[in-house]
Amino acid sequence: MDPDFSFYSRRFRMTGSLDNVYETLAGLDSPELRFAYARDLLKVHGMLPTELMRPGKELMIKREMTDKLLRIGHEHFHGRDFVLALKTYTKCVKYTEPGTVQHAYALAYRSAVYYHLWKLPLEVRYELCLTDIRRAIESQYPTQLLYKLYEQAGHTEYNLGRGEKAKLNYSECLKRLDDGVMTAEQRSQHKKLIKEYIKKCDDLEERNIPVDQHSIEKLSGGKHPVIPALSKLVKLQCSPTMGRGVFATEDINPGDVVAVDEPYISGASLHNSLLCHYDKCMKLTCSIIPCPNCSLVYFCSKECMQKANEDGHALECPIMFSIKSLPGDINLNQLAMRWFVREYFKLNLINYYVLVKKLLEIYKEPMVRGFSDSHVYNSENFVTAFSMHCNEKEISMDLLLFYFCLGAVMFEYLMISGIDIPNSYLNTIGASLVRMLFILDTHCRKLTVNAPCIPAELTKRSTLPIAYSLYPTIYLFNHSCDPNIRCSGDMSDRIRVMKAIQPIPKGSQLLMSYGVDFKKENKETRINELSDLFKFNCECQACVENWPINCYTPIRLTSLNLLNVNLADTITKECKKFMELTTNESFKQAPHLHLNYLYDFLKLLFCNVKRPFKLYENCVTWICIAHTSVKIKDLELLDLSL
């Protein structure tokens, strides 16, 4: 369902006051005054909340459902429908509180499902099984049944080839058998069996199971001295048509890594419970634990839950349910709240106030945003993100009113939850929350590059966003319909690596695509799309020179497009070679094995042929494909929309 951005204007229209509201809002030129106005307006119309909304009843009903769900889970399990059993037990894990017997049962049953879940690769299912066993043991699994869990853990470690760990678990099982409810005969039989298992472990050769090491790419030329997420080969500079941007200080080659950025702030999409919501983890996992207080965010481990609490979740937790009920985009509302509480509490009231007051005043000047008085760029993620350009002037009155009212309501919830903000700071701090909403709306909602994705269908490259993240440094790159850099690697990776896909001579700007490409769409469509989504008129070379789309791009070398006639023979020969290679099946299967060849061919054309030229554009496309490995992760083999 599309977010309802006309929620507040509809309310005011009903009271017949909308025209006046628009007029007054438009006449106020500072964000603080607009915030104060929206807050007063809501107060007058009785639309400011006076208490927090609580999950109460909803959560109780879910908890009562658990027993029934466990029974259904058993039916699926015994009917060997392991995927349905997994879904059902996972619901139970979500609905029950960690530390309770019910929670422990749900985890223990789910561990048994993982053990049998043939659809998952062996190592994955065994690791998940062990994780759930460990958690069930930590949550109050009944003492008289603990031997079963240790036995299961022993089998799983054994199957993973880890003899020593298997022995430890079997030995624990032997001890725990004394607590089991059974006859003396049964106990002695069982102990005999476990001792045989222990003996078998001695014969097991330790296997080294390769771990999926995600190698993080290194920045070409090393780290930038001021902005560590950027390469040393670039600098921040202002361009008259695009504002702040990133420019090459040396020649950059295709394949060079120009930025490695981590999300500064992120949140899993609310519909997705396959992801750890702690934003420094964001691991895809089937094995989740909900926050025991709000039950709205999930973690892959207790450690992540603890770190998330220290990083601000403890503060947003009491108002999570209220935020969930607000109009607009739930995911982004939550993200804005997370961003606000984290920075506000990190900096403290006065520091936060002083910083945002300055940023709210100067953000209109592109080169001042983020720069100190001595023109040194402040690499703090908060400054980079908070000072991001987002064309507020182009935003419709509807949306402007929406965000100021939404910010005022969110702010009220914060104050009701106990955050004490003196009156003299209130409007500035409130306006900072509204600015966060604008920034996230402009830069997060619409850019899929900011959303870790999983493939929507196994056979296609289309992807589904599973989380929303603000990558502060990536946002410094301006857009081109003919990008010379691109995000490489797996789209579900939390860390984003930007690589050059074309040669970028010293002094030129590094440009990424915000989602449109001159090869696929004509100028009019692109302009409309960019203006609709991002509210700017594209000033890239492809738009300014009105380059034709792919099917009209010249494919032949002629005196019109050949810049160096002396090299005509060499270029013709190389073009022929490129065409032969790229029609070859083995090349299509593994273009990444030919990257160096593609880079050399591209550089040859870059220097000697006028663009657009079909083979140049095709070569860029192949480089992009080779840089993007959309790995089919283990979890996507299952339909786990829980």
Ligand X SMILES: C[S@@+](CC[C@H](N)C(=O)[O-])C[C@H]1O[C@@H](n2cnc3c(N)ncnc32)[C@H](O)[C@@H]1O
> Which CB sits closer to ligand X, 241 or 572?
241
> Which CB sits closer to ligand X, 32 or 392?
392
d(CA 138, CA 581): 58
> Which CB sits closer to ligand X, 152 or 480?
480
Closest CB to ligand X belongs to which residue? Answer: 243
d(CA 574, CA 605): 9
> Which CB sits closer to ligand X, 278 or 547?
547
> Which CB sits closer to ligand X, 89 or 475?
475
d(CA 466, CA 331): 11
> Which CB sits closer to ligand X, 96 or 478?
478
> Which CB sits closer to ligand X, 49 or 366?
366
> Which CB sits closer to ligand X, 55 or 366?
366
> Which CB sits closer to ligand X, 304 or 368?
368
The H or E element that residue 4 is part of is none
Burial 93-111 (b: 16+ CB within 10 A, else e): bbbbebeeebbbbbbbbbb
For the bound state, the minimum distance from the C-beta of residue 268 to ligand X, rounded and expressed in Å, comes to 23
Spatial CB neighbours of 51, under 8 Å, sequence gap ≥ 6: 416
d(CA 82, CA 424): 59
Q: How many CB atoms lie within 10 A of CB 617?
A: 19
User: In the structure encoding, which two tokens stand for residue 148, read together?
Assistant: 């079963």
For the bound state, the minimum distance from the C-beta of residue 523 to ligand X, rounded and expressed in Å, comes to 12
For the bound state, the minimum distance from the C-beta of residue 545 to ligand X, rounded and expressed in Å, comes to 13
Q: Are 89 and 76 spatial neighbours (Cβ–Cβ below 8 Å)? A: no
Reported for 554-563, long-range contacts at CB under 8 A and 24+ positions apart, including other chains, are 554/612, 554/613, 554/614, 555/613, 555/614, 555/615, 557/609, 560/610, 561/609, 561/610, 561/613, 562/608, 562/609, 562/610, 563/607, 563/608, 563/609, 563/610
- SS3 per-residue string spanning 396-442: CHHHHHHHHHHHHHHHHHHHHCCCCCCHHHHHHHHHHHHHHHHHHHH
> Which CB sits closer to ligand X, 241 or 525?
241
The label of the residue with tokens 């209130």 reads 426
For the chain, the straight-line distance linking the first and the last C-alpha, in angstroms and rounded, comes to: 18
> Which CB sits closer to ligand X, 298 or 438?
438
For the bound state, the minimum distance from the C-beta of residue 368 to ligand X, rounded and expressed in Å, comes to 10
> Which CB sits closer to ligand X, 236 or 624?
236
Give CA separation, 13 vs 4, 24, 390, in Å: 15, 15, 27
For the bound state, the minimum distance from the C-beta of residue 32 to ligand X, rounded and expressed in Å, comes to 21
For the bound state, the minimum distance from the C-beta of residue 472 to ligand X, rounded and expressed in Å, comes to 10
Give CA separation, 55 vs 31, 318, 328, 331, 408, in Å: 33, 10, 20, 18, 22
d(CA 415, CA 436): 18
> Which CB sits closer to ligand X, 478 or 502?
478
> Which CB sits closer to ligand X, 432 or 480?
480
- For residue 289, the SS3 value is strand
Residue 549 CA, distance from chain mean position: 32
CA dihedral 215, 220, 224, 225 (to 10 degrees): 90
For the bound state, the minimum distance from the C-beta of residue 382 to ligand X, rounded and expressed in Å, comes to 14
| Strands (E) located in 461-579 | 463-465, 467-470, 478-479, 485-488, 496-500, 509-512
Phi/psi at 237 (nearest 5 deg)?
Answer: -150, 160
For the bound state, the minimum distance from the C-beta of residue 26 to ligand X, rounded and expressed in Å, comes to 21
Supply the DSSP symbol for 243.
E
Q: Are 394 and 465 spatial neighbours (Cβ–Cβ below 8 Å)? A: no
Question: Could you tell me how many residues make up the chain?
Answer: 642
Query: Rule CB under 6 A: which residues touch ligand X?
Result: 241-245, 366, 388-389, 391, 443, 475-476, 478-480, 534, 536, 538-540
The label of the residue with tokens 């857009």 reads 479
> Which CB sits closer to ligand X, 144 or 241?
241
Q: What residues form DSSP beta bridges with 245?
A: 237
For the bound state, the minimum distance from the C-beta of residue 620 to ligand X, rounded and expressed in Å, comes to 18
- The type of residue at 152 is Q
Residue 456 CA, distance from chain mean position: 15
For the bound state, the minimum distance from the C-beta of residue 551 to ligand X, rounded and expressed in Å, comes to 24
d(CA 31, CA 467): 29
